[in-house]
């Protein structure tokens, strides 16, 4: 189950709960008298058994979902207001956190590619310098090499002993 699915499910549950709450408050469904309710069929043993099974499965599903949300809460930085979060709030923060990690990974990958290109250039340049007997004219340096050339140099002498 993906994060997008979990977010969608959480939004659905919150909307459903809001609609049910408003409907009960506005129409008084929660306060109807037993005589006004629709008549029900008597329950058989078979229907009671399947209902019990269904309730148990639903209880297990909710426990699993709660466990997954707790694990997610441990992985996502929630900030100072971390005391109580709705499922939707947690999933939204998780989505934002994942997006930020993806952007960060993309920037690092781009930087790594740039450094690789620069390394290849410098290795070719070094090979050229080693192969040629006379010192050639200095070609323009790539971005990082130019930056390194502008930094002050520290000369360290060798000790012969």
Map tokens 């408050």 to a residue.
Answer: 25
Q: What angle do CA 157, 137, 125 make, to 5 degrees?
A: 70
Map tokens 């189950």 to a residue.
Answer: 1
C-alpha closest to that of 139 among 125, 124, 120:
125
Q: Which of the two residues, 105 and 132, has the higher pLDDT score?
A: 105
User: pLDDT by residue (tens digit) across 9-28?
Assistant: 777 877 777 665 555 555 44
Burial annotation 1-31 (CB, 10 A radius, 16+ → b, else e): eeeeebbeebeeeeeeeeeeeeeeeeeeeee
pLDDT for 148 equals 64
- Domain locations in the chain? 3-29+51-100
Q: What angle do CA 136, 153, 107 make, to 5 degrees?
A: 85
C-alpha distances in angstroms, 144 versus 3, 48, 122, 125, 141? 39, 74, 11, 14, 8
What letter does residue 155 receive in the DSSP assignment?
A: -
CB 3 within 8 A of CB 81: no
User: pLDDT by residue (tens digit) across 121-149?
Assistant: 999 999 999 998 866 566 666 666 666 66
- pTM greater than the 0.85 cutoff: no
């Amino acid at each position: 189950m993906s994060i997008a699915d979990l977010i969608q499910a959480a939004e659905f549950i919150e909307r459903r709960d809001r609609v049910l709450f408003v409907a009960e408050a506005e129409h008084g469904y929660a306060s109807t008298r037993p005589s006004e309710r629709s008549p029900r069929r008597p329950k058989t043993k078979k229907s009671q058994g399947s209902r019990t099974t269904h309730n148990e499965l639903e209880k297990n599903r909710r426990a699993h979902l709660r466990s997954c949300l707790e694990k997610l809460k441990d992985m996502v930085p929630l900030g100072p207001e971390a005391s109580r979060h709705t499922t939707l709030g947690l999933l939204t923060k998780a989505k934002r956190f994942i997006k930020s990690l993806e952007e960060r990974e993309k920037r690092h990958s781009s930087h790594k590619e740039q450094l690789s290109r620069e390394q290849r250039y410098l290795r070719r340049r070094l090979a050229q310098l080693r192969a040629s007997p006379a010192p050639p004219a200095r070609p323009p340096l790539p971005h990082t090499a130019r930056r390194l050339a502008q930094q002050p140099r520290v000369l360290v002498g060798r000790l012969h002993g």
